[in-house]
Structure formats: C-alpha cells, structure tokens
Amino acid sequence: MTDIETLHSPTDAIVVTDLVKRYGRMLALDSVSLTVPNNTMFALLGPNGAGKTTLIHILCTILQPDGGQAWLAGTNVQKQPLKARQNIGVVFQEPSLDDRLTAYENLDFHGRVYNVKSADRKRGIDELLALVELEDWRHAVVRTFSSGMKRRLEIARALLHSPRILFLDEPTVGLDAQSRAGIWAYLDTLRKQRDLTIVVTTHYIEEVENCDKVSIIDHGKIIADGSPLHLKSQHGKETARVIPRDAETAAALTARYGALQTAKDGSLIIDASAPGFADAFLAEFGSRIRQVAFDKPSLESVFLTLTGRELRDRTADEHEKRGAAARRGRRS
C-alpha cells in the first residue's frame, strides 16, 4: 500500500490537499488544494480575511488544520513539523526583529537558533547584509532603521539557515511605493541566485504581475490559479470606470447595463469588452458623465469577474481577527 506521504512530485516545493480550518463556526479554509513547483515565484492573492494568513500559518507549522494534508519540500507538515521548519524561512506581516539589537546581532541570534556553524553563520551574515544593502548598518541598532530597512533585514534573517522555501506574509504593507518596489527587486534577485521558491501573500494586486503563478483565494476557497497571463486571458475583461454627473445618470447607467460594481472612489465599473463599446457608450452617455477611463484586462478585472467586487473592498473578516487574537494569547 502506497504511503500517502509520497503521493507528490519531487519537483513540487509545496503540495496542499483539501486543507480545512475553522475558527469556531467560521470556516477560514474550505478544502484548499494547490501545488507550487520548485524555484517558483508564487503569489497567494486575496482580500483581507480571505484565508491567506491562515493558510500560510498552517504551512509554517504555527497552526494545525482541522482536515487535509500539506507537504513542504517532500516533508509532511503535520507529521514532521520540526523537519519542515528546517526547509522554510518566514517573514511575517507583523515586525518580529528585536529592535534593541544591531542588525548583525539579530542575524547572529537567528543563526544560533538554527544551529548554523560559526564560520557559515559569519559568511552568511556578510553575504546577506550585502545582498539587502545593509552592510554599512551591520552594527547599527535596529530601532534606528526605517520600515523598509527593517523589512529587508527580516528577509536576510529568514534566509540565513539556507531554506528551500521563503514565505512572506504581506511583506510590503506599510511601505512607501519606492520601498515596495525595492523589496520585490530583492526577492527576484534572491530567487535567481539561490534556486529558491518564494511564496508571497498580498492584496496589492499590481505587485504580482511578474509572478510565475498566482492563486486567488476568497472566502477560504481557491477560486482560480495559473500564470498572470493565463488568468487574464481566461477571466479578465476590459472595463470602463465611469463617474456620472448626477444620480439620474447613475440610475440610467444601471438600467442600461444591469447591476454595476462601485469602486472605492465612487466610480461605476462597467463591462466594456463588447466590440465597439467605447463608441456606443460615449454616443449615449458622453455628455452625462464627468470622467471615464478604460482599463485593459488585468488581475484586478480577473478578481472583479470572479467575485463581483474589487480586491481591496473589504476589511478583515471576524474569523481572521479571532485567529490572530488567539495566536497572540498563546504567545503571551
């Protein structure tokens, strides 16, 4: 009889089958299954409360699922959590550096926890500080760092024990646009240099356009996955974002085009994929609108097509909040 632990390809860094997680009566993960090949830049895309963090915490052995199985680099996460942890580096959404220590001391402490030999630890610290451009701040106390510098140091720390998979949960939240772009540049360099599988959760949809594979999660379910190009070709639509001059025009648009989506800025989102839509729309409504912008098929339109709303329209669901509170309680 074949052992279920061997039922996956050696070319897959992550295999998840039918994962279930509940917080009381709330179903946070609903039979989630996915695979992530080795040396892949993979993004888990979804709104706050969709189940992204819950899934990552199960894969990082922080949470136990209520059902299903997960493997990391061939290791069953539930049955061999200690071995699984040796294969992963993690950068959590909440800061986890000791800001009373220097950059060097934070990395050195992490290496000692993972039993990295002294010579390898010193060499790795030098290489990683150079990679994230913090070598000039190696002896600076971390509390003096900017948010972007702290995040770069957290990435370096997560890689010191040479993991095969790097998890980053919302790595650019709270960073300015320049810092966010810099983090993604570092990640791309890391994957190429280290043959690393990188898993990122985010609700910044524009950040995942260059990923190899994207899975869209909503209400605890994977509702679509594939390359960004595949997702856009299968589910993306050209849309028009319209700001009407008055409520009467808004009502007329709804009557003409059916139920419309409302963006966070108050504009109405209309399916503009029909041939000749722009000319027909402007002929009928051109004088009655303040502004119209036409958007080409994008991952944002993919999410809108699949869920009926924009990605960032929601705040965290209660089950995610309760789960975070429970985890903080266990640490205190």
Q: Per residue in 50-85, pLDDT tens?
A: 898 899 999 999 999 999 999 999 999 999 999 999
Of residues 126 and 233, the one with the higher pLDDT is 126
Q: What percent of the chain has pLDDT over 90?
A: 54
Confidence class of residue 324 from pLDDT cuts 50, 70 and 90?
A: very low
Type of residue at 286: G
Separation of alpha carbons 67 and 5, rounded Å: 15
CA dihedral of 213, 124, 82, 14, whole degrees rounded to 10:
10
Q: How far is CA 94 from the centre of its chain?
A: 14
Query: Which pLDDT score is estimated for 195?
Result: 82
Here the tokens at position 225 are: 């996955």
Among candidates 233, 179, 238, 230, which has minimal Cα distance to 207? 179
Query: Which uninterrupted H or E stretch holds 141?
Result: none
Separation of alpha carbons 41 and 323, rounded Å: 27
116-169 pLDDT tens trace: 999 999 999 999 999 889 999 999 999 999 988 999 999 999 999 999 999 998
- Domains, the chain, in order of start with CATH, read 4-232 (3.40.50.300), 238-296 (3.30.70)
Query: Which pLDDT score is estimated for 60?
Result: 92
Separation of alpha carbons 13 and 9, rounded Å: 9
- Asked if 281 and 240 count as a contact pair (C-beta separation under 8 A), the reply is yes
Confidence class of residue 312 from pLDDT cuts 50, 70 and 90?
A: low
Confidence class of residue 171 from pLDDT cuts 50, 70 and 90?
A: confident
Query: Which pLDDT score is estimated for 319?
Result: 41
291 CB-contact burial (10 Å; exposed 0-12 / middle 13-18 / buried 19+)? exposed
**CA–CA distances in Å: residue 188 to residues 88, 181, 236:** 17, 11, 26
Statement: residue 328 has pLDDT above 70: no
For 100-235, where are the E strands, in sequence order?
Answer: 165-169, 197-202, 213-218, 221-226
